[in-house]
Chain A
Amino acid sequence: MATPVCVIGAGAGFAGDRVDPAVVLAASGVDAVVLECLAERTLVPAIRARRDNPQAGFDPRIGRRLRALLPVAHQNGCRIVSNFGAANPAAAAQYIARLAREMGISGLRVAAVVGDDVADRQPQINWVRDPGAPLLGAHVYLGCNPLADALAQGADVVVTGRVADSALFSAVARDRLAPSQDALAGAIGVGHLLECGGQLTGGNYEPIAGAGAPPPLTAEEYARLGYPLARVMADGSAEIGLPPGTPGIVDPLTCTLQLLYEVHDPSYYATPDLVVDFSGVRFERLGDNRVRMSGVKSKGPPPTLKVAGFVDRPGFIMDCEITLAGAGARSRAEVMAQALRLRLSDWADDDVVVDRVGAGSVLRALSQPLRGEVPEMRVHVSARCADAEQAQIIEDEVYAMTLSGPAGGASVRSEKRPRIEVLDGFIAPQHVEPQLLWSTS
């Protein structure tokens, strides 16, 4: 069997992901744990926080994650690479160095990758459509090079803001790969495969029933799900697996689902370092929860880098819900839904939707049909509101059903959320200048 040039674990797949899988990976002896913690919109609250306080704007969960992970990673010589710097990687690096000191870990070298914030370069950005309002922020997707440079210069922790998720992984492999674009493309493919953590190892996955299919995971297994690791070879191929002793499902089917996840054209997946082609990828079962991945090809560097811009639209989306329970709950819910729509008759169909949760509120016209009585049902109103007063009207109308609607309206809850729009733009690579800032514990 070929010897890997590095072993990379995926310890988190979104900002709120579990803390413990990364600790298990670090203890298993991987070279680096990557924590992917920054969705497009996760940046918005971070940008707002930094505006109010120049020392804020990084993921507030860093402390909780690193108090658990740092001691194990430090003891095992495992690097940590994460985009949990969000809108302020420089402040995050200082915070991490301070945290390490408090924990008695000295000499920890933390590199912040800055330069993804391109809000001051708007003349150089081509937006797909006119933003139409002042931008809350603009962040370019950086590639793996500044991260790999930081690791080459001895960083124990690399903390970034907006970078391509796959670059968090390919950065760990870059200097150990054969010098070819296809090898780097392979490492980018590995990163894409691993970036959602447990979604590669049996999470959000229903096996096809029938002979040869793995049994569905049990509650205990979902609760303890192992997160994936990749043994990356010099040619960019990799062996995908789980840390020893952790439950999960890694087979060609789970790998294929994740390879194609959120990819538009599988033969032209543009990342900041290379455009990659997944159409010739092969997954080969090597054993229990061990799959070999090969065949990712490079189509050369992309002409431009992608920028995510954020526009704050006025108003809110209001979500409000109420429960009917007991005999006849279904028909009382139907009547209440109709009554609510009548109360909101001056709202356009585009701006308000009344659903019955339990009767096709998710898949709607293509839902399974509802048969028979149900013990309870929720009536839900979603509305696009021009301002806070309109949002209050929605909540008030739902509450008024407890006095003036069908019997037993109960358990009301509501949530008002801002209307943030993400706008894609493109910028030429020469206008982007990433830099490293160092902190030491």
Chain B
Amino acid sequence: MRVGDIAAGRAGDKGDMLDLTLVARDQPAYEQLREALTPERLQPLLNRVVPGPVQRYELPGLRALKFVMPQALPGGVYAALHPGLHWQKAAIWLLLDLSLESDAQGLRLVTPQEAQ
């Protein structure tokens, strides 16, 4: 199941920080995302695109998870070597396009490339 099938999201930035917000469509989706999207699982995947640690804030009353990467955008969005300005507005698809799969080893996060 794709994260974007059960949550909406938005990406923002402040200085070097990238912030990714997911809001689950209902309570079971929130629990599922909270279990699956741990910083330990996410960081190695996100670090293929942006550097640094991942912090997570849980907001059960809002069914929201907030992921903050304080060092993801070194020098801020204007210093990024990406085509054009403000690529980070699209960065929420780094999360929305991940899929949750469970197999014999337990829960796994699968990238769009691996899902083929």
Taking Cβ atoms with an 8 Å cutoff, the residues of A that contact B are: 41, 199, 204-210, 213, 253, 256-267, 278-283, 317, 319, 321, 351-353, 355, 357, 361-369, 378, 380, 382-384, 417, 419-422, 424
Nearest residue (CB) in A for B88 is A362
Residues of A within 8 A of B113 (CB): 365-367, 369
Known contacts A208-B25, A384-B79; 12 additional CB pairs below 8 A are A260-B19, A261-B10, A266-B59, A279-B59, A353-B81, A361-B83, A365-B111, A366-B93, A366-B97, A366-B112, A367-B113, A380-B83
Residues of A within 8 A of B83 (CB): 319, 321, 355, 357, 361-362, 378, 380, 382
B36 interfacial contact with A, CB 8 Å = no
Contact: A257 with B23, CB < 8 Å?
yes
In chain B, positions 37-73 with a C-beta closer than 8 Å to chain A are 45-46, 48-49, 57, 59, 61-64, 66, 68, 70
Q: Given A256-B23, A279-B61, is A363 in contact with B93 using a C-beta cutoff of 8 Å? A: yes
B: contact size bracket: 35 or more
B105 interfacial contact with A, CB 8 Å = no
Question: What separation, in Å, do the CA atoms of A260 and B14 have in the docked complex?
Answer: 13
Min C-beta distance of A34 to chain B, whole Å: 20
Closest 4 CB pairs of A and B: A262-B12, A365-B48, A382-B81, A380-B83
Encoded as 1 (CB less than 8 Å from any A CB) or 0, chain B from 74 to 108 comes to 01101111111001011101100110000000000
Q: Given A259-B62, A283-B62, is A204 in contact with B89 using a C-beta cutoff of 8 Å? A: yes
Contact: A208 with B7, CB < 8 Å?
yes
Question: What separation, in Å, do the CA atoms of A19 and B113 have in the docked complex?
Answer: 42
Question: What separation, in Å, do the CA atoms of A380 and B80 have in the docked complex?
Answer: 13
Residue from B19, B49, B75, B111 within 8 A of A263 (CB atoms): B19
Nearest residue (CB) in B for A308 is B15
Supply 7 A–B pairs (Cβ within 8 Å), ascending by A: A264-B14, A264-B17, A351-B81, A363-B91, A366-B46, A383-B81, A419-B78
Q: Given A361-B83, A364-B48, is A253 in contact with B5 using a C-beta cutoff of 8 Å? A: no
Residues of B within 8 A of A367 (CB): 112-113
Residues of A within 8 A of B45 (CB): 366
Min C-beta distance of B10 to chain A, whole Å: 4
Encoded as 1 (CB less than 8 Å from any A CB) or 0, chain B from 1 to 44 comes to 00011111110111101010101010000000000000000000
Min C-beta distance of A376 to chain B, whole Å: 15
Contact: B19 with A262, CB < 8 Å?
yes
Contact: A208 with B6, CB < 8 Å?
yes
Residues of A within 8 A of B62 (CB): 256, 259-260, 281, 283
Nearest residue (CB) in A for B66 is A260
Q: Given A208-B8, A208-B25, A319-B83, is A369 in contact with B66 using a C-beta cutoff of 8 Å? A: no
User: Which of A41, A367, A419 has the most chain B CB atoms inside 10 A of its CB?
Assistant: A367
Question: What separation, in Å, do the CA atoms of A365 and B44 have in the docked complex?
Answer: 12
Residues of B within 8 A of A378 (CB): 83
Residues of A within 8 A of B81 (CB): 317, 351-353, 382-384
Contact: B57 with A265, CB < 8 Å?
yes
Residues of A within 8 A of B7 (CB): 208
Question: What separation, in Å, do the CA atoms of A367 and B68 have in the docked complex?
Answer: 20
Residues of B within 8 A of A422 (CB): 15, 76
Residues of B within 8 A of A261 (CB): 10, 12, 19, 21
Question: What separation, in Å, do the CA atoms of A369 and B116 have in the docked complex?
Answer: 8
Residues of A within 8 A of B76 (CB): 421-422
Question: What separation, in Å, do the CA atoms of A280 and B59 have in the docked complex?
Answer: 8
Residues of B within 8 A of A283 (CB): 62
Nearest residue (CB) in B for A382 is B81
